[in-house]
């Protein structure tokens, strides 16, 4: 469990750095629009988490994905791209600073990477109890 504990601590540090970057990108220029990036990346894993339970029933194999699972993946990809595209668009039209754009993209990437790494690192433990 020591490796798991180290993983949790490392991931929480990365998550904190990500949120720090996003909040700094808002607070340094007194423009709180990049905070939407944090919300976007936090809700990004939600469709997959919801729709992944729609796939498996007794009549279909576990490898066969249905329309609901596809919808969840589609929405996930859409939200992730939205999170990266939103600061770029704001910076392009001059609403936020360019460095604020870079900082919020990096922070959002760190937050989403943390969520992905967390779900990947602790998926093995859940599957043992199935």
The residue ranges that bind other proteins (CB under 8 A) are: 63-65, 70, 73-82, 85-86, 88-90, 92-95
| C-alpha 55 chain-centroid distance | 22
State in angstroms the smallest separation of the CB of 70 from other proteins. Answer: 5
Q: Which is nearer to other proteins, 15 or 37 (CB)?
A: 37
State in angstroms the smallest separation of the CB of 14 from other proteins. Answer: 23
**CA dist., res. 99 & res. 55, Å (int):** 42
From residue 29, how far is each of 20, 63, 78, 98, 101 by CA, in Å? 14, 48, 28, 11, 11
State in angstroms the smallest separation of the CB of 3 from other proteins. Answer: 27
Q: In the structure encoding, which two tokens stand for residue 16, read together?
A: 């904190």
State in angstroms the smallest separation of the CB of 121 from other proteins. Answer: 20
Q: Which is nearer to other proteins, 37 or 90 (CB)?
A: 90
- Taking only Cα atoms into account, the Rg of the chain, rounded to an integer number of angstroms, comes to 17
Q: Which is nearer to other proteins, 13 or 74 (CB)?
A: 74
Going by C-beta distance under 8 Å and a sequence separation of 6 or more, which residues neighbour residue 115?
Answer: 41, 42, 44, 45
Q: Which is nearer to other proteins, 9 or 78 (CB)?
A: 78
């Amino acid at each position: 469990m020591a490796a798991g504990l180290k993983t949790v601590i490392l991931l929480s540090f990365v998550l904190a750095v990500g949120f720090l970057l996003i909040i700094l990108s808002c607070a340094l220029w007194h423009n709180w629009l990049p905070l939407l990036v944090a919300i976007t990346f936090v809700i990004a894993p939600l469709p997959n988490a919801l729709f992944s339970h729609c796939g498996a029933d007794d009549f279909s194999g576990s490898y066969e994905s249905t329309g609901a699972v596809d919808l969840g993946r589609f929405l996930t990809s859409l939200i992730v791209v939205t999170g990266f595209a939103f600061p770029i668009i704001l910076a392009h039209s001059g609403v936020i600073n360019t460095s604020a754009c870079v900082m919020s993209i990096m922070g959002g990437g760190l937050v989403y990477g943390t969520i992905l790494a967390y779900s990947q690192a602790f998926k093995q433990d859940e599957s043992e109890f199935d």
